[in-house]
Structure 1
Amino acid sequence: MSTDRLKAAFESGVPGCNWIVRFDEDGHAEAGSAADLDQIDNPGPGHVWLHLDCIDRRFIDVLRHLKTLTAEAREALAGDANHQFVEHADHTICGAIVDHQHAIDGPKEDTDFLRFACGPGFLITARRIPIYSAQATRRALADGVKANSPIALFELIVTNLCKCSASMMRDISVSLDRIEDNVVIEGRGRDQRAGLGHARRSAVRLARQVNGLQSTLERLEEASEAFDHKDFAEVATSLGQRADSLARDAANLQDRARMLHDEINAILTTETNDRLYTLTVITALILPATFVTGFFGMNTKNLIFAESESGTIYASFICLAASLGALLMLWRMGLAGTDAEGRAKPAPKARKRLG
């Protein structure tokens, strides 16, 4: 079992801070401490990653201590985010992106905003619940992955976020494959509605998140000139392309789910029509016999077969003959027979008279 090199980063002693990680000039990560907060206001060699807990309101005191943060960055980190966005001012990029909740057994469908502020020599992130991308990035840094600049660290975080979304899309795709086999190949539609409903809801939520991330990263690419780092434009372009790919995959998932939904509805409609057809034929066969029994149930004089010892037998034969006559009429009209595939035969076309 590997040792977590950055475990000491959790013990920074700063209220409202989850961890502090500092990086040397080569991008190697080490557990940081409260003393590294001064490097945010006084950039030197390397950079610092400060990850805050928004539930602990003492994190606002940490933000007040950082004089280099702009008003926009403070609002992005401490405000109530309700959409994904990105802003830039005074060589600082800030905003919020949607990420998935991190649990012991992996990422969950529940989401929250990962707030961030990235500037020369620092990256500050904040969250309300454990976020997958931040946890995955910290583990990667503990395993030796390097981040030689704050924007490279931000790229690593967003990359892990995109990998998480892509993994969830693959799970949804596998579910749709299974449903598609049951619906198209086996013709089972009624018992697949619950699974398809869950897959569609997950696909819609992911598509909404990915589309918001795509537009946010597009604005990040437009803001690349405001950041004083030569690789920022390249990083922003790379992240934008990754988000575009995710958006296309999410749209494809939604299209597949919608087509399966239509296919299931078509199967259910066919089943309903078959049942209504059977019920109609049965009703048509019973209706003449019902009329006959109603006729012989009249309390009138001179009713035929009323005085006959075999009247019940004669009436039964009349009921059977009426039903057979109705069946023959339905067959001649093409409503009682079926073809090789179990469908009702079409009514025969009227012949044209010659001459």
Structure 2
Amino acid sequence: MQKEKPAVLNFNKEVTGMIYGFVFRPDQPPERVSSQQVQETYQDIHHEQGFIWIHVNLNHAMSEKWLKKHFSVGDAFFEEIREGSRSTRIERLDDILLAVLNDVIFHPEGTSDETSTLWLSCHQQLVVTARHKPVRLIERLFKRLEHLNIGSPTELLVYLLEEQEALLEQIVRRANQYVDIIEERLLSHHVKKNRANLGRLRRMLLRFQRLLAPEPTALFRLFNRPPAWIAPDVVQDLRQFAEEFSVVLNDLIALTERIRLLQEEITSRQMEQSNRTLYVLTVITVLALPINIVAGFFGMNVGGIPLANNHHGFVLLVVIVAIFTLLAGWYAFKRRDDN
């Protein structure tokens, strides 16, 4: 997992927990600033066009106090971080947009996955993103920032949402390829291992669906009652995002159903193999039954054992055992054909 490459900070001056700070102005490339500069710019940005983006590390002890003191970031944002659900959603809190996004690293053959959560507070002229662990969504945004031509806080939000949609689409594509390989190996001798891999993959995809799929209720509330400062075309972009995400989710649901059917097929094959093994053992037991019975009778240490003085007694016993063994074998195979 690639890590974010934060700026080299002078900790004698930089004690705010800010990782990135950018000022966006019309027709100008984004300008990267320090925490002191971003505080000064925020005082004047209300009288100008443009907005500020601040990305902070929540592990830093001063980040929450610094944001509350110098910027219009209320307690609700940090309460949501501490107590709220980590599944993806976008909702309106008064005149602010609150978004929760997730980043995952998918290893089809791994036993675990890595996840990180990004919280976003979107004001009319201020965007605050916060995380505990590095988030690749922000890393990619930082690398492409100069070429994206982002002109408003909502455009930044829409970009991050589209990146998460692309992430889920990539996961579904890679999972499909992995399932294709297992499906091709279905007739091999590794059925048990394939079934275990499919079960683990299915649980992982269901977890990704819970984390990455946006909550529809909060999204529909936002569509019906967006903040006044959000342009209608931005609401339309969000609607388009929701439609595209629903297509990816349908693909994910279809994939999990395909995995379930493969698991049932593998289970059926295992049961058939077990039944065949049990049948072979049953036939062996039936074929050995006549000779065991005869050996038991003639092994008794009592008088009056037949054929004891007959020179052809052993041959007669072999013929008798062979006849009963053939009859038992015929009956066993006849029962198999009837089934």
Place the TM-score, normalised by the shorter chain, in its bin: 0.7 to 0.9
In the alignment, the residues of structure 1 paired with residue 189 and residue 218 of structure 2 have an alpha-carbon distance, to the nearest angstrom, of 42
Work out whether 1:138 is the aligned partner of 2:176: no
Gap change, CA 1:124 and 1:218, over 3 Å in 2 = same
In structure 2, what is the equivalent of residue 81 of structure 1?
84
Which residue is equivalent to 1:128? 132
1:47 aligns with 2:21: no
Shift of 1:65: 1.9
Residue 19 of structure 1 aligns with which residue?
20
Alignment of 1:109-258 (within 5 A): 109-142=113-146, 144-183=147-186, 189-258=191-260
Q: Distance in 1 between matches of 2:5 and 2:285?
A: 77
3-state DSSP class of the match of 1:51? strand
Comparing 226-235 with 45-54, greater Cα deviation is found at 226-235
Give the TM-score normalised by the residue count of structure 2. Answer: 0.85
Shift of the alpha carbon at 1:79?
Answer: 2.6
**In 1, Cα distance between equivalents of 2:90 and 2:61:** 23
Residues 1:346 and 2:338 are matched in the alignment? yes
Q: Which amino acid aligns with 1:60?
A: E
State the distance in 2 between where 1:49 and 1:158 align.
Answer: 16
The CA deviation at 1:252 is: 1.1
Aligned counterparts of 1:346 and 1:9: Cα–Cα separation in 2: 78
> 2 CA distance for matches of 1:138 and 1:286?
77
Letter of the structure 2 residue corresponding to residue 171 of structure 1 = R
Kindly tell me: are residues 8 and 181 of structure 1, through their superposed partners in 2, closer, same or farther at Cα, counting changes over 3 Å?
closer
Aligned-pair CA distance for 1:314:
3.3
* 2:265 aligned partner: 263
CA distance in structure 2 between the partners assigned to 1:27 and 1:279 by the alignment: 81
| Paired residue secondary structure (2:231) | coil
Structure 2 CA distance for partners of 1:100 and 1:29, relative to 1, 3 Å: farther
Unaligned runs of 5+ in 1: 1-5, 103-107, 336-343, 348-355
Q: What is the deviation of 1:199?
A: 1.8
Answer whether contact 2:21 2:55 (CA < 8 A) is retained.
yes
Deviation at 1:214, TM superposition (A): 4.9
Cα separation, partners in 2 of 1:8 and 1:306, compared to 1, 3 Å: closer
Partner residue of 1:350? none
**Pairwise CA distance, 1:225:** 4.3
Point out the more displaced range, 276-285 or 251-260: 276-285
Unaligned runs of 5+ in 2: 107-111
Task: State whether residues 221 and 240 of structure 1, in contact with CA within 8 Å, keep that contact through their aligned partners in structure 2.
Answer: no
RMSD: 2.7
The farther-off stretch of 267-276 and 310-319 is 310-319
The question of whether the paired residues in 1 share the 8 Å contact of 2:86 and 2:211 is answered with no
1:60 matched residue in structure 2: 64
Opposite residue 112 of structure 1, the aligned amino acid is: S
| Alignment equivalent of 1:275, drawn from 255, 274, 277 | 277
SS in structure 2 at match of 1:72: helix
Partner of 2:113, secondary structure, is strand
1:117–1:124 contact (8 Å) kept in structure 2: yes
Range that drifts further, 130-139 or 21-30: 21-30
| C-alpha distance in 1 between matches for 2:229 and 2:104 | 27
Write the letter of the residue equivalent to 2:323: A
Amino acid at match of 2:322: L
Secondary structure of 1:278's counterpart equals helix
TM-score (norm 1): 0.81
1:64-95 residue CA offsets vs partner (Å, 9 max, x unmatched)? 2234233423433x534333344423421114
Partners of 2:92 and 2:227 within 8 A in 1: no
Aligned residue number for residue 73 of structure 2 = 69
Identity %, equivalent residues = 23
Q: Distance in 2 between matches of 1:61 and 1:101?
A: 31
In structure 2, the CA distance between the partners of 1:26 and 1:231, relative to structure 1 (3 Å rule), is farther
The one of 89, 100, 103 equivalent to 1:99 is 103
